């Protein structure tokens, strides 16, 4: 691998790690309703676990309510059961046509738990980015051993990989801080 390939590979993988982290944050609830809260829910639909958004339309008609309108009304009970079995901590209201989820206000204790979860996810993302840095540095060392790059090129590549690492860790940190602030707001 040459310098450009190593950097491109590292950047793509780090971008994916940040995207994964960002998508994980959407599932963490704040005091407001969001369709992202139910994204991770899988419903037993005709014997197979199916993502909720594939079998129902999810909307947020009010700041404190999520409305789930299934494409097939016969799946209402399964949707309600999946929501109860999830870790959302919300009770679904099934009126025969739609399922309503009322998003209760968060207690201070629950907010602190959610902030802790945000910190855990952020640390996992940072560890993932650092592992990608380690792999890129190994590739640079190997390229130098294989005589595909000089010692100076290897050192330059490692510096550029470190710059990428700082850039993507900064993205993770700013996303985490924003989510923590959002969770702690009323």
What's the pLDDT at 109? 87
pLDDT digits (tens, 9 = 90+) for 97-152: 999 988 877 788 888 888 999 999 999 999 999 999 999 999 999 999 999 999 99
Query: When comparing pLDDT for 7 and 184, which is higher?
Result: 7
Residue 20's region, left for phi above 0, alpha for psi from -120 to 50, else beta, is alpha
pTM above 0.85, yes or no: no
Is the distance from CB of 15 to CB of 166 less than 8 angstroms? Answer: no
pLDDT digits (tens, 9 = 90+) for 7-49: 999 999 999 999 999 988 887 777 677 888 888 789 998 889 9
Q: Which tokens go with 31? A: 């005091």
Q: What does the alpha-carbon distance between residue 101 and residue 90 come to, in Å, rounded to a whole number?
A: 7
What's the pLDDT at 186? 59
Q: Measure Cα distances from 167 to 11, 14, 15, 123 in Å.
A: 10, 10, 10, 15
- For 45, the 3-state DSSP assignment is strand
- Answer yes or no: is pLDDT of 6 > 70: yes
Question: Domains in the chain, please, with CATH?
Answer: 3-26+107-184 (1.10.132.20), 35-102 (3.30.1360.40)
What's the pLDDT at 165? 96
């Amino acid at each position: 691998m040459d310098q450009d390939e190593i950097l491109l590979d590292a950047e793509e993988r780090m971008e994916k790690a940040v995207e994964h982290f960002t998508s994980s944050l959407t599932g963490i609830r704040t005091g407001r309703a969001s369709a992202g809260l139910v994204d991770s829910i899988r419903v037993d639909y005709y014997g197979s676990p199916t993502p909720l958004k594939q079998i129902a339309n999810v909307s947020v008609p009010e700041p404190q309510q999520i409305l789930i309108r299934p494409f097939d009304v016969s799946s209402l009970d399964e949707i309600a059961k999946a929501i109860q079995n999830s870790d959302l901590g919300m009770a679904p209201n099934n009126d025969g046509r739609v399922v309503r989820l009322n998003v209760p206000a968060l207690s201070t204790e629950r907010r602190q738990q959610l902030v802790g979860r945000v910190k855990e996810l952020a640390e996992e993302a940072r560890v993932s980015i650092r592992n990608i840095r380690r792999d890129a540095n190994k590739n640079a060392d190997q390229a130098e051993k294989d005589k595909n790059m000089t010692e100076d090129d290897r050192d330059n590549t490692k510096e550029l990989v470190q710059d990428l690492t700082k850039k993507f860790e900064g993205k993770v940190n700013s996303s985490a801080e924003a989510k923590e602030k959002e969770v702690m707001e009323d």
